[in-house]
């Protein structure tokens, strides 16, 4: 039996096409999930072109849906459980998923929202933790209008940090401002005082500038490199009081952190801002909009049956605004 999937195809306009693959056969510690929604990440587009995901293989990392076969070893959720996961090959109608890579959806959280959490939310949560987030820290988030950035702003603000959000243009400022940023800057202009933590997803010259703004003892987490530009450090930029520039990657199963993020989202303490939504047969539109920096937040795709599409023709651009935490409420980083 085969299932439909978004597979890597270098000859397609965005190197991805909707095709058919064999239905996956779950291993003993895996559940089989019928996927209803997937979320497109910047890294997926890199993966499709870089060879990291082989030609013909299923793309994607973020999926949400319902367990249709429980794990044979008795671990994990039972059939009928609604789940969200961070898993390779997520963009298919059915996916085998390790039980440690998923979280059950709390009541009140729908899959179309939860599916925006895995890659971007886990990257934001883990990089902030690694950097030693705490109350009163000055945290700079670059690429703050994007997926990782908007979650990092919200989580840092919730922990009582002073959050400075950097965006590429004035038009991109409103998302981070609504998410709890104390300051929103275009680039890094006007940021005079040092910062303790940088969550950087832009790289290039902005990473160099952020390093120069980092206080002694501080930490830059290099999460991504959307600028695609080289970072050239002036001589002696790395000589001085100790501070660190750390590489970052999501390198272990995300289920426990996904449970944290889904609980926060269900409580209304973390907002998934949907900047593009539509059926997955319009993947190319979503990919182009993400590439051209036209999406404010997450791109969410609905997995639709081949001949029974019921979606409206146009994607909707609006999603709920991230919520600023109430004054005085700083529950820390989970
Ligand atoms: N290491 C990991 O485990 C991990 C996990 C998740 C993501 N990532 C990486 O993190 C980065 C961000 O991912 P994302 O999902 O948040 O992407 P995204 O939703 O596309 O957001 C990226 C943000 O970067 C800014 N940006 C885009 N192109 C830029 C350019 N040419 N110059 C300067 N800024 C630019 C955009 O903000 P403006 O338009 O406001 O400038 C955009 O909001 C990507 O490189 C991704 O691969 C890594």
Q: What is the pLDDT of the chain when averaged over all its residues?
A: 93
Instruction: Give the pLDDT of residue 323.
Output: 52
Mean pLDDT (whole number) for 231-254: 98
Mean pLDDT (whole number) for 100-122: 98
Instruction: Give the pLDDT of residue 286.
Output: 97
Measured CA to CA, the distance from residue 104 to residue 88 in angstroms comes to 18
Atom of ligand 1 nearest to the CA of 144: 43
Instruction: Give the pLDDT of residue 310.
Output: 41
Q: How far is CA 182 from CA 101, 162, 165, 265, in A?
A: 34, 6, 8, 21
Instruction: Give the pLDDT of residue 318.
Output: 45
Selection from 252, 129, 104, 267 nearest residue 199 by Cα: 129
Mean pLDDT (whole number) for 60-82: 98
Q: What is the pLDDT of residues 245-277, one digit of tens each?
A: 999 999 999 999 999 999 999 999 999 999 999
Q: How confident is the model at residue 312 (pLDDT cuts 50, 70, 90)?
A: very low
Q: How far is CA 227 from CA 17, 71, 142, 293, 299, in A?
A: 26, 41, 11, 11, 19
Mean pLDDT (whole number) for 170-195: 93
Pocket test for ligand 1, best of 224, 225, 246 (most atoms within 8 A of CB): 224
Inform me whether the pLDDT recorded for 308 exceeds 50: no
Instruction: Give the pLDDT of residue 232.
Output: 98
Inform me whether the pLDDT recorded for 101 exceeds 90: yes
Measured CA to CA, the distance from residue 252 to residue 163 in angstroms comes to 27
Selection from 102, 95, 55 nearest residue 81 by Cα: 102
Percent of the chain at pLDDT exceeding 90: 89
Pocket test for ligand 1, best of 201, 204, 294 (most atoms within 8 A of CB): 201
Domains and CATH numbers, the chain: 2-116+274-302 (3.90.180.10), 120-247 (3.40.50.720)
Atom of ligand 1 nearest to the CA of 296: 43
Gap from CA of 28 to ligand 1 centroid (Å): 36
Inform me whether the pLDDT recorded for 148 exceeds 90: yes
Gap from CA of 275 to ligand 1 centroid (Å): 14
Atom of ligand 1 nearest to the CA of 142: 24
Measured CA to CA, the distance from residue 57 to residue 331 in angstroms comes to 42
Inform me whether the pLDDT recorded for 142 exceeds 50: yes
Q: How confident is the model at residue 190 (pLDDT cuts 50, 70, 90)?
A: confident
Residues 6+ apart with CB under 8 A from 74: none
Inform me whether the pLDDT recorded for 279 exceeds 70: yes
Inform me whether the pLDDT recorded for 313 exceeds 70: no
299 lines ligand 1 (CB under 6 A): no
Mean pLDDT (whole number) for 42-48: 94
Q: Say what the pTM is.
A: 0.93
Gap from CA of 286 to ligand 1 centroid (Å): 15
């Amino acid at each position: 039996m085969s299932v439909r999937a978004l597979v890597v195809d270098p000859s397609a306009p965005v190197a991805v096409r909707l095709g058919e693959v064999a239905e996956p056969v779950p291993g003993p510690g895996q559940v089989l999930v019928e996927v209803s929604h997937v979320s497109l990440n910047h890294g997926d587009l890199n993966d499709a072109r870089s060879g990291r995901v082989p030609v013909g293989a299923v793309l994607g990392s973020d999926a949400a849906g319902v367990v249709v076969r429980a794990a044979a070893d008795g671990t994990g959720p039972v059939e009928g459980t609604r789940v969200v996961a961070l898993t390779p090959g997520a963009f298919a109608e059915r996916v085998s998923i390790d039980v440690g890579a998923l979280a059950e959806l709390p009541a009140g959280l729908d899959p179309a929202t939860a599916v925006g959490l895995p890659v971007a939310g886990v990257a934001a949560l883990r990089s902030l933790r690694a950097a030693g987030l705490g109350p009163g820290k000055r945290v700079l988030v670059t690429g703050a209008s994007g997926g990782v950035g908007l979650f990092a702003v919200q989580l840092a603000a919730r922990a009582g940090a002073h959050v400075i959000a950097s965006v590429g243009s004035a038009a991109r400022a409103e998302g981070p401002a609504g998410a709890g940023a104390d300051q929103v800057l275009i680039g890094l202009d006007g940021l005079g005082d040092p910062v303790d933590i940088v969550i950087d997803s832009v790289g290039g010259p902005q990473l160099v500038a952020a390093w120069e703004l980092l206080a002694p003892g501080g930490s830059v987490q290099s999460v991504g490199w959307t600028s695609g530009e080289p970072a050239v450090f002036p001589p002696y930029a790395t000589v001085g009081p100790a501070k660190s520039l750390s590489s970052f990657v999501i390198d272990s199963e995300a289920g426990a952190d996904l449970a944290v993020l889904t609980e926060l989202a269900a409580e209304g303490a973390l907002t998934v801002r949907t900047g593009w939504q539509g059926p997955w047969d319009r993947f190319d539109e979503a990919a182009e909009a993400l590439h051209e920096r036209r999406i404010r937040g997450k791109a969410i795709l609905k997995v639709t049956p081949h001949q029974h599409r019921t979606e409206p023709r146009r994607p909707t651009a609006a999603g709920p605004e991230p919520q600023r935490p109430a004054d005085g409420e700083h529950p820390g980083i989970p």
